[in-house]
Amino acid sequence: MREDKIIVNNIEVNYKIAGEGPAILVLHGWGGSSDSWVRVQDILSRKGYTILVLDFPGFGRTPPPYDPWAVGDYMEFLNSFIREVKKKEKSFVSPFFLLGHSFGGRVSIKFCIKYPEYVRKLILMDSAGIKPGYGFKGSLIFVAALLGNALFTPKVLRRFKDSVRSIFYRVIRNRDYAKANGIMKETLKKVLKEDLLPEIPGLNKQTLIVWGGRDRIVPVKDAYTFKNIIKGSKLEIFKEVGHSPHLECPETLSGVIKNFFV
């Protein structure tokens, strides 16, 4: 396995590449990086694949974008990254197999719809992208947010707004928002606003949906929604696994990936 860097749109992008054979591109989740995929990358590279995992801007060893990005910005960045990395890495050729985990699933969906010529088959793993309905908890959060904004309107209280908001988001378990800062916090807000549900029917790639049955971050019901909307898709549920099968059961996941890509 080799780690390297490449300049894409004035951003120095870090990535890991390993193996020889048909190419696989992995897009990590929010808060993840290429480091979290080392075990799966090692297994699949030994099974006859070239597997590349990049650090998205704002994650791992890649600096954040210069301005807050939406999902579409990451999609266009990915397109530019692929063009550049193909010049440098002769073993990485298209069309390739694409795997998107969580936030990486969001980017994968939009990328496959706009640039289908790049992708042979698609795996969506515990993929984000379907905006949840408010429900009781969501309504509570929405009202609390409105009250919070009203509460902190007086100038004397404004300096406490960010710290209390951070605590509030920790309480509701939005840890990604609580951990993000600066540009990445604004980026996360843009990402979470976008509902990809209306776009999903535009996917025309052979797709495998992989999900942890105990995922507490993206509910397993979303897996069945993807399955029902994406024509001809297959669904694999790891019953005893949470949001990160690549960390919890890398050997089992690698076997499922290989079987689907054959």
> Residue 37, Cβ neighbours under 10 Å: how many?
23
Count the Cβ atoms, other than its own, within 10 Å of residue 204: 14
Query: What tokens does 207 get?
Result: 């797709």
Per the CB < 8 A criterion, the answer to whether 62 and 35 are in contact is: no
Q: Tell me the residue length of the chain.
A: 262
> Per residue in 147-174, is it b (16+ CB within 10 Å) or e — as a string?
eeeeebeeeeeeeeeeeebbebbeeeeb
Q: What is the pLDDT of residue 180?
A: 53
Report helix, strand or coil for 91: coil
Place of tokens 């049955």: 213
Put simply, whether the predicted model's pTM sits higher than 0.95 gets the answer no
CB 180 within 8 A of CB 166: no
Q: How far apart are CA 50 and CA 160, in angstroms?
A: 50
Report the candidate in 92, 78, 79 with the shortest Cα–Cα distance to residue 23.
92
pLDDT per residue as tens digits for the range 68-98: 999 999 999 999 999 999 999 999 999 999 9
Give pLDDT < 70 ranges for the chain.
133-181
* Those residues with Cβ within 8 angstroms of residue 220's Cβ, 6 or more apart along the chain or in another chain: 211, 212, 213, 237
Q: Which residues contact 78 (CB under 8 A, 6 or more apart)?
A: 27, 107, 111
Coil, helix or strand for 123? strand
Q: What is the DSSP letter of 182?
A: T
Structure tokens at 2: 């080799």
What is the per-residue pLDDT for 133? 64
- Adjacency order of strands within the sheet including 119-125: 2-8, 11-18, 50-54, 23-27, 96-101, 119-125, 206-212, 234-238
